[in-house]
Amino acid sequence: MSLSTLLARRLLFTVGKGGVGRTTVTLALALEAARRGKRVLVVELEGARGLERALAGLRLGAGSHQGLDRITYLAVDGQAALEEYLAMVIPVRRVLTTIFDSAVYQYFVAAAPGLKELMAVGKIWYEADRAGTGDDEAPDIVVVDAPATGHSLQYLRMPQAALEAFPVGLVHTEAERVVALLRDSAATAAVVVSTAEEMPANETLEIFAGLEGIGLSIAALVLNQVHGAPCEDAVLTRLGEAVSMGESADEPLFAQAVRRAEEEAGWARINARHVARLRHATGTSTAVFPYLFCEEFGAEQVVDLTEVLRAQMDGEPR
């Protein structure tokens, strides 16, 4: 899977366990798509506006570079999406206001199982359906920063559940359209994000099974924060021996540097084992993002990782 092929789709979901870097990968995909001249809509589902803040920081830190002017942001909330949809089918504002203020309506929205999730995915479908139509206000690609694993699968399963629950009628028709888009591998795909550690790796395999059960194509796996060995094991062994023999003129500092190198080498071995495990188990195109040592993760680091993504998936030199 090349990056060019991945970004040819209209709709991408970044999915993964909480804290693995989904928002970073969402921004990297958006930046690369924008660099290639695409109009990009980044969507945040059920978040605390982390993507919005990260995009704002990127605009401050990266200026007008990387096609940032071609990236727009949208937060999708299920209840707001329902009200937007009702406004489309009930054009009389007075009637709408009466409905929205009704206690029965508020109870219905709160109690109806899966309604808000269905409407949120329906809103994403609406935006993705406009993509590539030639409309000057429509995006070319929609990249969704999905919530943590369990909630993501809940959202993505809801259209199929609605399709089965309502065999006829308006809900059935709308759900059928959404399901068709989610299962169209030429138009829609998921990019799964993980770190190369045991618990995230185990959950990643569960994500793969869940997405395959939904029928959503998995286009790529991004393994984030992967440590690299600072030197060969033989060199590290010799340095350890030097510490034990007191060969350094500045022993405390030298010893601390060697200990940190040993710690980093240990993380590198753990990460390498899980990278190999996930590649073997999933058989999916994989990009590996290095662990970046920096005082504060910001725009410069996101741009660096975008270059890593391009280099690994399209084979372009950094």
pLDDT-based confidence at 166, cuts 50/70/90? confident
How far is it, in rounded angstroms, from Cα 81 to Cα 208?
Answer: 28
Read out DSSP for 178-243? HHHHHT-TTTEEEEEEEESSHHHHHHHHHHHHHHHHHT--EEEEEEEEE---SS-HHHHHHHHHHH
Residue 233 has pLDDT above 80, yes or no: yes
Residue 260 has pLDDT above 80, yes or no: yes
Q: Determine contact, residues 258/243, Cβ cutoff 8 Å.
A: yes
Residue 85 has pLDDT above 70, yes or no: no
Residue 281 has pLDDT above 90, yes or no: yes
Q: Which domains does the chain have, with CATH numbers?
A: 3-228+284-314 (3.40.50.300)
Among 180, 120, 126, residue whose Cα is nearest residue 145: 120
* Helix locations, the chain, DSSP H: 3-6, 22-35, 50-62, 78-89, 93-101, 103-111, 115-130, 149-165, 170-182, 198-214, 233-245, 251-282, 299-314
Query: Per-residue pLDDT tens for 109-161?
Result: 555 556 778 888 888 988 899 887 777 788 999 999 998 888 889 889 988 98
| Positive or negative torsion for Cα 200, 315, 70, 8 | negative
Residue type, 17: K
Percent of the chain with pLDDT over 70: 85
The chain-wide mean pLDDT, for the chain, equals 86
Residue 173 has pLDDT above 90, yes or no: no
Regarding predicted confidence, which is higher, 238 or 91?
A: 238
CA distances to 24, 53, 144, 190 from 302, in Å: 7, 13, 17, 20
Percent of the chain with pLDDT over 90: 51
Query: Per-residue pLDDT tens for 98-118?
Result: 666 677 556 555 555 567 788
pLDDT-based confidence at 87, cuts 50/70/90? low
